[in-house]
Structures are given as structure tokens and as C-alpha cells.
Amino acid sequence: MADCIFCRIAGKEIPSQVVYEDDAILAFNDINPQAPVHVLFIPKEHIASLAETEDRHRDLLGRMLLAVRRVAEDRGLGQGYRVVNNCGSQGGQTVNHLHVHLLGGRSMQWPPG
């Protein structure tokens, strides 16, 4: 989708600090980090949100979480981390291309706002 900022990042039209990439997934540093480690994981395929996923995305969704674990290990987050998906307007989603946040390097609070 030409007007989707994360599609443009996936297509390397917009630069990002890539921390992980494979044929289906790109991970890059969040431009407005909320923790010492704040990485976004996106499918290269445009999927608007978790609510738009289908059974055919099972492998992709599993691979996204395994990529999160790999980056968390690489970044030394052995004391723990948080994985977030904001879905839809009430979920706080601001970019309508599915993404998972990896946040780490500080203690997290619960409940979220």
C-alpha cells in the first residue's frame, strides 16, 4: 500500500534502523522509543491489524514472536521485556499496519494506560 508508512519502511523507501530481517518480517527501532530497547516487528505484507489476520497467517504470526525472542536475546533482555500489540482505535493503534512492540531495558508497570 503506497500510502502506508510501514509498507514504505518495508520497501526501504523510508529509512529505518533495521535490527532483524527475513523474507517475511522486518524489525526496526521505534522512532519515538518508550524504553531503552523499543523495536517494532512488522510483516512485509500489508495487514492492517491483528483483527485482520486470518488462519493463513498462523506461520507468519508465530515467526513474528520468535523474531521478538531472538532480538530480545540479542539485546541482552534476560531480565525480561514486554511485547505489545495495539489493535484498533480503542487499543491505541496509530499506524494501521500490523506491528508488535518489543520494549525492554527498564521495569514495566501494570496496568497499561
Does position 1 interact with ligand AMP (CB under 6 A)? The reply is no
Encoded one letter per residue, x for contact with Zn ion by CB under 5 A and - for no contact, window 86-105 reads -----------x--------
Q: Quick check: is 99 catalytic? A: yes
Distance in Å, CB of 52 to Zn ion, minimum: 11
Does position 94 interact with ligand AMP (CB under 6 A)? The reply is yes
What single-letter amino acid sits at 62?
G
Measure Cα distances from 61 to 2, 24, 79 in Å.
Answer: 23, 10, 24
Residue 21 pairs in a beta bridge with 26
